[in-house]
Structure 1
Amino acid sequence: MSATVSGPSSHEGEPSAAALLEAGDIVGLMRACHDRRLEREGIPMVLGFVDERREIPASTDAAQLAEGNAFADVFDRYTDALVPFARDEDEGAVITAMQVVAYTHFAPGAAPISEEASA
Structure 2
Amino acid sequence: MSTQTKPKKHLSFTALRKSFSVVLSAIPDTRHKNKSTYSQHDIVMSAFACMYFQDPSLLAFQKRLENKLQSSNLKTLFDVKAIPKDTQLREVLDGISTENFSDVFSNMFEQLRCPQYTYARLMAANTTAQRK
- Which TM-score band applies after superposition, normalised by the shorter structure? under 0.3
Which structure's residues are more often helix, by fraction?
Answer: 2
In terms of Rg, which structure is larger? 2
Specify which structure has the bigger relative contact order, considering alpha-carbon pairs within 8 angstroms and separated by 6 or more residues: 1
Give the TM-score normalised by structure 1.
0.27
Give the TM-score normalised by structure 2.
0.25
